[in-house]
Chains A and B, each alone.
Chain A
Amino acid sequence: MKYSNRTSLVVAASLAALLTVAGCHKKNSAPPPPPAPPASAPAPMATIAAEPSTIAPGGSSTLTWKTTDATNVSIVGLGQVASAGTQTVSPTQTTSYHLIAQGDGGTADATATVTVASAAPPPPSNIGESNIDENAFEGAVKPVFFDYDSYDVRPDAQSTIQANANFLNQHPGLKVVVGGYCDDRGSTEYNLALGENRANAAKQALAAAGVSPDRLRTVSYGKEKQFCTEQNEACWQQNRRAQFTLDQ
């Protein structure tokens, strides 16, 4: 074939040229410096805690936070705050306080959740399984929420997992779909994989709390079925969850 050699040369050559042409912006005989941040700017660190982490309706909790190497510190919902401090909050419903510390060396974040216990939780054992519809089920089996780009079940979700497991163990005939969800920021395919990891982490946590894994089926929804569509942290947090629904 007369053209084959030249054709492959041309393909390689033109592509290589594209990269070379676009890759260099100015005359520069030294290789480009590595993109690492300068050593003088250490990465910030951030911690936040809520005490107590569970309050009754009308009660209050104290947030305590600490950051290092940050120039700009904020708590989502509360705005800019000092680099370390305490503040009393009285949320009316379960709220996650997301601390973001930005510095020259990067960004760090941490989350504390204040759970508002409902005044009189209905004793779930009084409900017969045949009477449990989707609404009653979701009223009793609550979602668990995840940190950004993480599929680890947070310590503050353990009480939810335990309550969910108690309900499911009292109703052994129910089968459950564990749906994994992600916020809107990541890419479609990666979020579907991450959502699968989240659903599976919630499934494992329920199994560890005594629910037979045979009753639990995972489905990842990635960012295809969002609970909230605004572009802010409160909304993103709503979407980073494992949701439990009846498997019918």
Chain B
Amino acid sequence: MIASSPRKFTVLRIFLFLAFLAVPLAGVRAQDWVRTGTNLGVSKIRIAAADFKAASADPQTGGLKSAFDQTLYNDLRYAGIFDVVSKSMIPNATPGSPQEIKMADWSATPANANYVAFGALTPSGGRLAVQGYLYNTTQGQQNPQVLGKQYNGEATVDSARTIAHRFADEIIQQLGGIAGIAETKIYFVSSRTGNKEISVMDYDGMNERQLTHLGTVSLSPHVSPDNSRVAFASLGKNGWSLRMFSLDLGRLTAFPAWGGMTLSPAWSSDGAKLAFSSGRTGDPEIYVSDALGNGERRLTAFRGPDVSPVWNPKTNSQLAWVSGRTKLPQIYIMDSDGANISRMTDGGYAISPSWSPSGQFLTFAWDRKYGPGAPGGYDIYVMDIASKRWTQLTHDSGANDFPSWSPDSRHIVFQREQNGHTEIWMMLADGTDQQQLTHGGGSNTMPNWSWK
């Protein structure tokens, strides 16, 4: 634990400032508010990531070092809370230890960094050791060291990236106050093999791996909160049923095959319950069961499609879902016993809700002008649940669908179809900093962000 620094108070003050501005959302009339150039606070923390020092002459070092340096840089950039100094503006130095860094070089123009991450990378005998430091560059500090961490792993590129993610998350936790997402995963549907199968990748789009090989159509992956299982829906001879893939065992595990179409599974945040859509009565309705698929209970009873449920992860006492009970699909919320139904969207074609980890917001896809003769142009929206006030995050960029919150609530991953290709993108939760994560090889759709 570090000593409190003036900088940390500044960070806290920014968040308090933002919290004050958020008060109108709770029902009070909106304050005047002008959008500034930086969305997450007038002064993001300015941080520099030095290229790490290669502390051995092992021939592998080059590849490991570039993977590490690039991953750390990207993680800090994607975090959403930093103003990361461009690589072209940092001092031409690779300090490997506190003794080797000249702090004035990093605090001075053009870098102007308030913090600098640096360290050394030592591959030897098939192992990789990384020493990482985070220093406050402010002059005259008694204790400028914020972090000093030692990591060990295999001398592989994947391992170098993993270590960079862990170091980045330490930095983000320390300066941003909540856990980072650099070690999280994104589950999704890829048609790379010609069939829609469930795949997983790191949150930055690297390290992609196909999980299922069912040779049919598999959709709607949702990972369990403990990252041990992925629930999804798959088309078999008898129609759609839920399947369960064990990440620990690396294979499918038994799960009850109920009669009728079963779709769109979603975990409660305590991992104890599943919600899903079932057509066993001939009309798709929302049901819940326990995590093993036992004790299922029906929640909705209205004519028309009901699908895509998600839990309020803060309380697990509410669900949001999509219903076509008034024709075009709309977003609704209800209590987890089916009571207190409330319609959230006021028209158009609204689908694919995801509930923010804080419990306060929904993100979903919406085509507000949907209708016959008007081709779909879905965009991603965020709605404050208490006030039903919404804001549009994507504009004029293809058809966007299946948004999913990151565990830090700062990011949203989604699918975007452009020019006949569907790829997975992520952005900050205000719609800025949109990054494409997948690149070709079939369609990549229905992303689901892991819980940690």
Contact = CB atoms under 8 A, between A and B. Distances in A.
Interface of A: 2-3, 6-29, 31, 35, 100, 102, 106-109, 148-150, 185-190, 192-194, 196-197, 200, 203-204, 217-221, 224, 231, 233
Contacts of B428: 18
Counting chain B CB atoms within 10 Å of each CB, the highest count among A25, A107, A188, A218 belongs to A188
Contacts of B322: 189-190
A196 B373 CA distance: 24
Contact of A22 (B19, B35, B371): B35
A134 B121 CA distance: 65
Given A3-B177, A187-B378, A221-B235, 16 more contacts: A6-B177, A7-B178, A9-B15, A17-B21, A18-B39, A18-B428, A19-B22, A19-B389, A23-B390, A100-B372, A102-B373, A107-B374, A185-B376, A186-B329, A188-B220, A193-B277
B219 A189 contact: yes
Contacts of B279: 193, 196, 200, 218, 220
B189 to A, nearest CB: 9
Contact of A193 (B306, B346, B384, B409): B306
A196 B177 contact: no
A11 B393 CA distance: 19
A112 B254 CA distance: 49
B263 interface: yes
B22 A189 contact: no
A63 B36 CA distance: 58
A203 B260 CA distance: 14
B284 A17 contact: no
A237 to B, nearest CB: 11
Counting chain A CB atoms within 10 Å of each CB, the highest count among B176, B279, B284, B372 belongs to B372
A61 B410 CA distance: 60
A208 B56 CA distance: 80
A243 to B, nearest CB: 14
Contacts of A25: 35
Contacts of A15: 22, 356, 358, 360-361, 409-410, 429
A29 B28 CA distance: 12
Contacts, number: 214
Contact of B283 (A27, A197, A231): A197
Interface residues of B, number: 86
A125 B20 CA distance: 78
A101 to B, nearest CB: 9
26 contacts: A7-B177, A9-B16, A10-B177, A13-B15, A15-B22, A17-B41, A19-B361, A19-B430, A22-B391, A23-B389, A29-B32, A35-B368, A108-B372, A186-B351, A187-B349, A189-B308, A190-B308, A192-B219, A192-B263, A193-B305, A197-B305, A204-B282, A219-B235, A219-B239, A219-B261, A224-B196
A13 B18 contact: yes
B34 A11 contact: no
Contact of B19 (A9, A106, A148): A9
Contacts of B389: 19, 23
A44 to B, nearest CB: 11
